[in-house]
Amino acid sequence: MTRRPRVQKGQRIQSKRSCTSDLLSFERELYSKGIRSVAGVDEVGRGPLAGPVVAAAVILPEGLYLEGLRDSKKLTAKKRDRFYDDILNVAISYAVALVEPEEIDRINILKASLLAMKNAVCKLKTNPEYILIDGINEIEHHLPQKTITGGDDLSQSIAAASVVAKVTRDRMMCEFENIYPQFTFSAHKGYGTRAHYSEISRYGLTPLHRRSFLKKLNI
> Is residue 102's pLDDT more than 60?
yes
User: Amino acid letter at 51?
Assistant: G
114, 32 Cβ separation under 8 angstroms: no
Q: How confident is the model at residue 216 (pLDDT cuts 50, 70, 90)?
A: confident
Task: Give the tens place of pLDDT for each residue, 174-190.
Answer: 999 999 999 999 999 99
How big is the chain, counted in residues?
219
Rounded Cα gap, residues 164 and 188, in angstroms: 19
> Is residue 30's pLDDT more than 60?
yes
114 phi and psi angles, rounded to 5 deg: -65, -35
> Is residue 12's pLDDT more than 90?
no
Tell me, what's the pLDDT at 19? Answer: 40
Tell me, what's the pLDDT at 217? Answer: 78
Question: Which CATH superfamily hosts domain 13-217?
Answer: Ribonuclease H-like superfamily/Ribonuclease H (3.30.420.10)
Rounded Cα gap, residues 123 and 106, in angstroms: 23
pTM above 0.85, yes or no: yes
Cβ atoms within 10 Å, residue 216: 6
Task: Give the tens place of pLDDT for each residue, 121-140.
Answer: 999 999 999 999 999 999 99
Beta bridge partners of 59: 39, 93
Cβ atoms within 10 Å, residue 31: 16
Give 150's contacts (C-beta < 8 A, 6+ positions apart): 71, 134
> Is residue 9's pLDDT more than 80?
no
Domain ranges of the chain: 13-217
- Classify residue 33 by its DSSP letter: T
161, 60 Cβ separation under 8 angstroms: no
Please give the share of the chain, as a percent, with pLDDT higher than 90: 87
Report the b/e string of 61-93 with b at 16+ CB within 10 A.
Answer: ebebbbeebbbbeebeeeebebbbebbbebbbb
Tell me, what's the pLDDT at 197? Answer: 97
4, 126 Cβ separation under 8 angstroms: no
136 phi and psi angles, rounded to 5 deg: -115, -5
CA 32 vs. chain centroid, Å, equals: 27
> Is residue 169's pLDDT more than 50?
yes
Alpha-carbon separation of residue 194 from 49, 190, 209, 211 (angstroms): 12, 11, 16, 18
> Is residue 115's pLDDT more than 60?
yes
* Residue 78 host element (H or E): helix 77-90
